[in-house]
Every structure is written in structure tokens, then in C-alpha cells.
Amino acid sequence: DAGITQSPRHKVTETGTPVTLRCHQTENHRYMYWYRQDPGHGLRLIHYSYGVKDTDKGEVSDGYSVSRSKTEDFLLTLESATSSQTSVYFCAISAGGPTDTQYFGPGTRLTVL
């Protein structure tokens, strides 16, 4: 596995509560991504980062925010969790950006009740 960890690995929360997921990498890769994976759908990009404090939206960014204060850490925050945000969340990294291969973390399973 590429040096990517995600925490927590599992979380159950209630509707309306804020939730923060963490992705940590030891590869010193510039680009980091957050995806969600739902049954019957391909992976969908939520947000990505192309450097410290540089982030941009993906195709399903509503209800999510991100922050990257250090190269190794990329945080995903659900401002006010909803049941539609129940999903498995994956972090990915790539060295050279959108033209480079992405490597994935182990995922976080989030359940919003």
C-alpha cells in the first residue's frame, strides 16, 4: 500500500452533526483527493487539493468542505451530516497531478442516522 491512512475507519453519527474525516500520507505527494463510493455508482470526486491551502471542488462538493494546512494531511468536513452522505469515503494521492496515477487509502465507512 502507498503510505496513506484514513481516520476514523468507521463512524456512526446523527443527522445534523458535523463530521471530520482525516487523510494522512507519507509519500510527500502534492495532489490529494476525496471521493465517495456508493453502490451502483462509480467513484465520485468531492474535492481535491493541488498543494497546501490550494483546493478545488469536484462533481459532488455540496455539503462538504476541505482543508489542507500541511502537505501530509487533507481533511474532509461534513458541515451538517445528512443521511444522503452515508457512504464510504476514500482519499487518494498522486504525485504529478491530474495526469498521474492515483493511489488510494483504505477508506472510511460513514453512517448518518
Partner 1 sequence: EDQVTQSPEALRLQEGESSSLNCSYTVSGLRGLFWYRQDPGKGPEFLFTLYSAGEEKEKERLKATLTKKESFLHITAPKPEDSATYLCAVRTKMDSNYQLIWGAGTKLIIKP
The residue count for binding partner 1 (CB under 8 A) is 18
- For 104, the 3-state DSSP assignment is strand
Q: Tally the residues of the chain.
A: 113
* CA-to-CA dists, residue 93 to 17, 46, 85, 111, 113, angstroms: 28, 14, 22, 24, 30
Q: Tell me which of 31, 34, 60, 107 binds partner 1, using CB under 8 A.
A: 107
Total H helices, total E strands in the chain: 0, 11
Nearer to partner 1, 69 or 107 (CB): 107
Going residue by residue from 52 to 91, which x/- string records binding to partner 1, judged by CB under 8 A? --------------------------------------x-
Q: Tell me which of 45, 61, 77, 86 binds partner 1, using CB under 8 A.
A: 45
